[in-house]
Amino acid sequence: MTPQRGEVWWVSVDPTQGADLQQTRPCLVMTTNPLNR
């Protein structure tokens, strides 16, 4: 699977820092499609 611009992907943010909880978070793909390989 390749992310496309404008899609929302669930990403595991690891390692966490400070008081952040280690969990899966939604992330918006903002780069142009040729860079998302």
Q: Could you tell me the two tokens for 17?
A: 């820092």
> Nearest CA to 3 among 29, 26, 34, 21?
29
pLDDT tens per residue across all 37 residues of the chain = 888 889 999 988 777 777 667 788 899 988 877 776 6
Report the pLDDT value the prediction gives residue 13, as an integer from 0 to 100. Answer: 75
CB 7 within 8 A of CB 26: no
Q: What confidence score (pLDDT) does residue 7 get? A: 93
| pLDDT (0 to 100) of residue 37 | 66
Q: What is the mean pLDDT of the chain?
A: 81
Q: How far apart are CA 34 and CA 37, in angstroms?
A: 7
Amino acid at 5: R
**What is the pTM (predicted TM-score) of this model?**
0.60
